[in-house]
Amino acid sequence: MGQSPAGVARRTIARVMRQARVRAGIKSGTAAHHAGIAPGTLTKYEKAENPWPVSVVHLLAEYYGLSTDDRDRIVSLARQRDPGWWQRHGDSVPAWFEPYLGLEQEAHTLHNYEDGTVPGLLQTADYARAVLTADIDAGSHDQIAAQVEIRTRRQDRLTDEEPLTFNAVINEAALYRVVGGTAVMREQLQTLLDRAELPNVDLRILPFEAGAHTGSEGSFVIMQFPGILDDVAAGDVVLVEYRIGALYLEEESETTSFSQVFQRLRETALTPEESRRRIQHLLQERYAP
């Protein structure tokens, strides 16, 4: 299901408060009654569809048994109203994708399987432009330019002071599909080799010779987050895109299933060293000037 736009703080509060309630063994209806709100309203808060009022966070944090320090930490987050950097691009960002941008900025680890293209966090600007332009709903030239800028800006997470840990498995077919022309692919493959040298990037190719594999249903991203409270798990979020939106999966049974699939894909894929050699060979044999 698509989700309404939610800031980083809102998503963090939603996960932490939901986990704290579950850990305390309190049903959502009981918590809603204690806070003097409708059960449906609490559900919207816990799904990050609506911002958490500071008063509700304070009241429920105490009701769930959080320490004073933990309560104050969550209340402080509830007071944050800073917009994400991507919001200056306005309508160029699809409503279903805006929550993902906030989640990606907050995550400390991403596991990404890509079946048909290079992962967005590893795309060059020209490759990204070609992918976006091919969409039948691509939008105007200015909108495409804005989306390319967003895609390249996201990549700062790979090299900032606290870099994102990025584990990617790419179907080898994506390296053979000529996106944007030979020159664009040559630059793209060289960029993959360069990014694969980063200590926080684990890049693996799922080779043709692997045959049938557990990721045949398509691409997905698993996001993992730092714990805000010592004794409350942050929980993972899985993104699965479809034609006009995306699914954001947060139930443990769902995220565990995708984690198992990703682990199997990593085991089936070439090692990082073998993957770099495969990319280098393809670069020389297929995309040499």
Distance of CA 229 to the CA centre of its chain: 21
DSSP 88: G
Q: Calculate the average pLDDT of the chain.
A: 88
Question: Is the predicted pLDDT of residue 97 greater than 90, yes or no?
Answer: no
Q: Cα-flanking dihedrals φ and ψ of residue 250, to 5°?
A: -130, -10
Structure-model confidence comparison of residues 54 and 115, the more confident one: 115
pLDDT at residue 200 in the model: 98
> Token pair 């070609």 is at which residue?
130
- Both tokens of 181, joined, read 């022309």
Question: Is the predicted pLDDT of residue 234 greater than 80, yes or no?
Answer: no
Phi-psi domain of 211 (left: phi exceeds 0; alpha: psi -120 through 50; beta: other): left
pLDDT at residue 266 in the model: 97
Using an 8 Å Cβ cutoff, are 208 and 270 in contact? no
pLDDT confidence bin for 105, thresholds 50/70/90: confident
The secondary structure of 106-165 as a DSSP string is H-SEEEEEESSS--GGG--HHHHHHHHHTSTT---HHHHHHHHHHHHHHGGGGTSSSPPE
pLDDT at residue 202 in the model: 98
- Both tokens of 73, joined, read 């930490």
Question: Is the predicted pLDDT of residue 6 greater than 60, yes or no?
Answer: no
Highest mean pLDDT among 54-63, 210-219, 264-273: 264-273
Question: Is the predicted pLDDT of residue 82 greater than 60, yes or no?
Answer: no
Tell me the domains of the chain and their CATH numbers. Answer: 8-78 (1.10.260.40), 91-286 (3.30.870)
CA–CA distances in Å: residue 13 to residues 80, 109, 147, 239: 11, 19, 28, 19
Cα separation, 61 vs 70, whole angstroms: 8
pLDDT at residue 199 in the model: 97
Question: Is the predicted pLDDT of residue 227 greater than 80, yes or no?
Answer: no
Cα separation, 228 vs 277, whole angstroms: 40
Structure-model confidence comparison of residues 94 and 6, the more confident one: 94
> Token pair 């890049």 is at which residue?
203
Question: Is the predicted pLDDT of residue 264 greater than 90, yes or no?
Answer: yes
- Both tokens of 81, joined, read 């109203």
pLDDT confidence bin for 84, thresholds 50/70/90: low
Mean of the pLDDT values across residues 30-40?
93
The secondary structure of 36-86 as a DSSP string is TS-HHHHHHHHTTSSPPPHHHHHHHHHHTT--HHHHHHHHHHHT--PPPGG
What number of residues does the chain have?
Answer: 289
Question: Is the predicted pLDDT of residue 4 greater than 80, yes or no?
Answer: no
Mean of the pLDDT values across residues 85-98?
74
